[in-house]
């Protein structure tokens, strides 16, 4: 899906702000009572975008399971001629039904990707309408991430799930109204390469109702550097400036779609940004522009005080400043697609991104230990099944459709720590890897591997281009015993290198929970000193293995989780606290990463 961009033919209006809000009192009672057909009966204020959970002082809102209703009045812009008016929601977690006045205009499942509705026929230009969104935060075995509802001994319905972050819900990203002409660019795909100093840009445009399509390539200053006619083709950019890690040079493919002639002539203009760069996996290296790339950075979360998972521009820019201060050059969108603004910003700042679907928690084995949830088989007709796989395939398609033109994305992660040790897991994942490759033949594909899926047990590694490992030697295993942890880590790495000598290995998680301010002469677990010791051990090991091409520690910052006896106010594995103060280790890792940046040049 194309991002909403303004242009000579497109206007955008934001509907962000304070909306009316009400919890559905009894599962779906609001639906039966048609709450969308009138102002909400007892509304309270709720900011958009934000998670609703931490905004009010009510436990009921914080712990709500079921539908929550958002509503606001919308002034309809004057619409020119045959222009269309589109409503766009950046993400609603986890599912949404949307009404314009009494008319249902959209439904969407999947809490981290955008959806749209053409509402032209349902509103009056210059008038107003009531916009209602029913937000459903319930997870089932057929959603991603999966979960299930349970009833407590006291009779309360609660949401259980197998992933380690709080089930924040709400309208998490911007709500926009935008216009485009009746003739409309609906999709653009750009792939790039280069020969010597010449950039090669292959493009494909889909446009509704267009008689003619043409493209202009503009450089970062807006100067035209190439041009072509036709809905598909190739253009060459002389003296190209490549998009590189640390130097996010961007071009724009300005797409023109024209219909009609004379008085009847209409034209849509869509500016599609792109960078010229290549990605390839070869000889156990990940190459960007033909050069080996080493990932320095973190798994992250969209998570912060008050706003939960709501997108926040100030926080986004600050987080990038912190990452750059530390010498990081990359991150993973653990464990779901991030806001489009984040992907745009990574493009601009030259950050390298591993882009992940919301397939987290497809592993009842680990989660049983972590959350106290019941241990049932991961793959079975009653749990993760064919319908889940269909939903998973849809998420892969939607993610790639949204993010395919971002130069920052160098690798698709189609799941985090699923069970990959059973024959059923291979049956489940083989077709999904094929879906990813079919949607994007240009980028490598991986699955983030869990500690139980050691080389002797893993059943999917050969389907994938890279080995991505989440390892907690020294924490969940060999707790506090770094000498044994180092032995086990080296032994496992030896196993991967022997089994998959051509595949690069990226450490996508490692590190202990660390209470900020806890110092310990004996560097015992939970202290800042232990975090430094454990990460330093890992880094020493990584440096001995040329197959290791990346270190993304867990996590960039502390984050909220469900309550559990191993979580003290959330997960504390951050390099920074939840309010972004550096822990001691941040300075130690900074020294390492800045030295690497100086040596490698990015
Ligand atoms: C993992 C998960 C991550 C958890 C982390 C932990 O392996 O991928 O979501 O938060 O471990 O801290 O336990």
Residue nearest to atom 1 of ligand 1 (CA): 470
**DSSP alpha helix (H) spans, 106-169:** none
Ligand 1 center from residue 266 Cα (angstroms):
52
**What percent of the chain shows pLDDT beyond 70?**
99
pLDDT at 79: 81
Predicted confidence (pLDDT) per residue in 467-522, tens digit: 999 999 999 999 999 999 999 999 999 999 999 999 999 999 999 999 999 999 99
Of all atoms in ligand 1, which is nearest to the CA of residue 561? 10
pLDDT interval class at 368 (50, 70, 90):
low
> Which of 145, 161, 162, 164 to probe ligand 1 with, by most ligand atoms within 8 A of CB?
164
> Would you call 509 a catalytic residue per the annotation?
yes
Of all atoms in ligand 1, which is nearest to the CA of residue 366? 7
> Which of 298, 302, 417 to probe ligand 1 with, by most ligand atoms within 8 A of CB?
417
Q: Which of 417, 486, 528, 551 is catalytic?
A: 417
Predicted confidence (pLDDT) per residue in 412-429, tens digit: 999 999 999 999 999 999
Q: Which of 302, 398, 486, 509 is catalytic?
A: 509
**Rounded to whole angstroms, how far apart are CA atoms 188 and 371?**
43
Predicted confidence (pLDDT) per residue in 131-172, tens digit: 999 999 999 999 999 999 999 999 999 999 999 999 999 999
**In sequence order, what DSSP letters do the residues of 373-388 get, joined into one string?**
-----SBSTTSB-HHH
Nearest to residue 158, comparing CAs of 84, 81, 62, 226? 62
Residue nearest to atom 4 of ligand 1 (CA): 164
Predicted confidence (pLDDT) per residue in 121-142, tens digit: 999 988 999 999 999 999 999 9
Ligand 1 center from residue 297 Cα (angstroms):
16
Predicted confidence (pLDDT) per residue in 209-260, tens digit: 988 999 999 999 999 999 999 999 999 999 999 999 999 999 999 999 999 9
Mean pLDDT along residues 552-577: 96
pLDDT interval class at 66 (50, 70, 90):
very high
Of all atoms in ligand 1, which is nearest to the CA of residue 511? 12
Ligand 1 center from residue 572 Cα (angstroms):
11
pLDDT at 25: 87
Decide if 303 contacts 321 (C-beta within 8 A): no
Which DSSP state fits 262? Answer: G
**Rounded to whole angstroms, how far apart are CA atoms 80 and 71?**
27
Residue nearest to atom 13 of ligand 1 (CA): 164
> Which of 332, 470, 476 to probe ligand 1 with, by most ligand atoms within 8 A of CB?
470
Q: Calculate Rg over the CA atoms of the chain.
A: 24
Residue 110, number of CB atoms within 10 A of its CB: 24
**Rounded to whole angstroms, how far apart are CA atoms 331 and 313?**
18
**Rounded to whole angstroms, how far apart are CA atoms 285 and 548?**
9
> Who lines ligand 1 at CB under 6 A?
164, 335, 416-417, 470, 509, 554, 571, 573
**In sequence order, what DSSP letters do the residues of 243-259 get, joined into one string?**
PBTTB---EEEEEEEEE
Ligand 1 center from residue 129 Cα (angstroms):
44
540 is written with which tokens?
A: 């020493």
The answer, yes or no, to whether residue 373 has pLDDT greater than 60, is no
**Coil, strand or helix: which one is 538?**
helix
Ligand 1 center from residue 414 Cα (angstroms):
16
Residue nearest to atom 5 of ligand 1 (CA): 164
Q: Residues with Cβ < 8 Å from 43, sequence gap 6 or more?
A: 20, 21, 22, 71
For tokens 């550097």, what's the residue? 225
> Would you call 382 a catalytic residue per the annotation?
no
> Which of 451, 477, 511, 571 to probe ligand 1 with, by most ligand atoms within 8 A of CB?
571
Of all atoms in ligand 1, which is nearest to the CA of residue 416? 8
Residue nearest to atom 6 of ligand 1 (CA): 164
Residue nearest to atom 2 of ligand 1 (CA): 164
Q: Residues with Cβ < 8 Å from 432, sequence gap 6 or more?
A: 389, 392, 393, 396, 414, 415
Residue nearest to atom 10 of ligand 1 (CA): 164
Ligand 1 center from residue 361 Cα (angstroms):
10
Residue nearest to atom 3 of ligand 1 (CA): 164
pLDDT interval class at 366 (50, 70, 90):
confident
Ligand 1 center from residue 554 Cα (angstroms):
8
pLDDT at 27: 77
pLDDT at 374: 59
What residue ranges in 329-454 does DSSP mark as E strands?
330-332, 352-356, 409-416, 445-449
Distance from CA of residue 178 to its chain's centroid? 24
**Rounded to whole angstroms, how far apart are CA atoms 380 and 363?**
12
Ligand 1 center from residue 512 Cα (angstroms):
10
The answer, yes or no, to whether residue 16 has pLDDT greater than 80, is yes
Q: What is the mean pLDDT of the chain?
A: 96
The answer, yes or no, to whether residue 370 has pLDDT greater than 60, is no
The answer, yes or no, to whether residue 394 has pLDDT greater than 90, is yes
pLDDT at 415: 98
Ligand 1 center from residue 164 Cα (angstroms):
6
pLDDT at 26: 84
> Which of 336, 360, 554 to probe ligand 1 with, by most ligand atoms within 8 A of CB?
554
């Amino acid at each position: 899906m194309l991002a909403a961009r303004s242009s000579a033919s497109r206007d955008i209006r934001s509907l962000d702000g304070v909306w009316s809000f009400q919890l559905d009192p009894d599962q779906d009672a609001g639906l039966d009572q048609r709450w969308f057909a009138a102002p909400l009966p007892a509304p309270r204020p709720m900011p958009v975008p934000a998670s609703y959970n931490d905004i009010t002082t009510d436990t009921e809102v914080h712990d709500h399971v079921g539908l929550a209703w958002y509503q606001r009045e919308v002034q309809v812009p004057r619409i020119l001629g045959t222009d269309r008016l589109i409503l766009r929601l950046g993400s609603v977690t986890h599912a949404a039904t949307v009404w314009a006045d009494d008319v249902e205009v959209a439904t969407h499942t999947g809490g981290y990707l955008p959806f749209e509705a053409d509402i032209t026929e349902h509103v009056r230009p210059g008038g107003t309408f009531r916009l209602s969104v029913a937000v459903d935060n319930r997870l089932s075995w057929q959603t991603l991430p999966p979960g299930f509802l349970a009833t407590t001994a006291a009779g309360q319905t609660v949401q259980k799930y197998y992933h380690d972050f709080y089930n924040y819900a709400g309208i998490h990203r911007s709500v926009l109204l935008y216009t485009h002409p009746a003739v409309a660019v609906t999709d653009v795909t750009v792939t790039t390469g280069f020969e010597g100093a010449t950039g090669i840009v292959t493009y494909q445009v889909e446009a509704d109702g267009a008689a003619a399509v043409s493209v202009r390539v503009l450089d970062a200053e807006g100067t035209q550097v190439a041009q072509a006619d036709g809905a598909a083709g190739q253009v060459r950019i002389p003296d190209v400036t490549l998009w590189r890690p640390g130097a996010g040079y961007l071009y724009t493919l300005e797409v023109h779609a024209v219909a009609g002639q004379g008085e009847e002539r209409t034209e849509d203009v869509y500016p599609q940004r792109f960078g010229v760069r290549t990605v390839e996996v070869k000889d156990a290296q990940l190459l960007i522009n033909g050069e080996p790339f080493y990932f320095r950075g973190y798994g992250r979360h969209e998570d912060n005080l008050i706003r939960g998972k709501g997108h926040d521009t100030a926080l986004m820019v600050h987080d990038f400043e912190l990452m750059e201060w530390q010498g990081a050059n990359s991150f993973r969108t653990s464990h779901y697609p991030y806001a489009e603004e984040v992907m745009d910003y990574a493009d601009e700042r030259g950050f390298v991104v591993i882009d992940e679907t919301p397939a987290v928690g497809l592993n009842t084995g680990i989660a049983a230990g972590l959350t106290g949830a019941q241990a049932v088989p991961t793959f079975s007709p009653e749990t993760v099944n064919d319908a889940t796989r269909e939903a998973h395939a849809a998420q892969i398609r939607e993610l790639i459709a949204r993010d395919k033109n971002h130069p920052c994305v160098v690798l698709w992660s189609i799941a985090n720590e699923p069970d990959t040790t059973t024959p059923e897991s291979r049956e489940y994942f083989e077709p999904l890897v094929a879906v990813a490759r079919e949607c994007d033949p240009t980028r490598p594909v991986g699955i983030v591997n869990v500690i139980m899926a050691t080389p002797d047990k893993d059943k999917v590694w050969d389907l994938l281009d890279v080995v991505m490992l989440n390892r907690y030697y020294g924490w969940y295993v060999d707790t506090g015993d770094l000498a044994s942890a180092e032995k086990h880590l080296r032994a496992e790495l030896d196993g991967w290198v022997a089994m998959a000598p051509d595949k690069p290995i990226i450490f996508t998680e490692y590190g202990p929970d660390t209470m900020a301010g806890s110092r310990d002469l004996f560097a015992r677990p939970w202290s800042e000193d232990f975090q430094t010791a454990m990460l330093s051990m890992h880094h020493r090991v990584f440096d001995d293995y040329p197959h290791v091409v990346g270190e993304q520690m867990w996590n960039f910052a502390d984050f909220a989780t469900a309550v559990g006896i191993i979580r003290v106010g959330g997960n504390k594995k951050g390099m920074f606290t939840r309010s972004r103060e550096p822990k001691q280790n941040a300075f130690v890792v900074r020294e390492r990463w800045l030295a690497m940046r100086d040596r490698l040049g990015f």
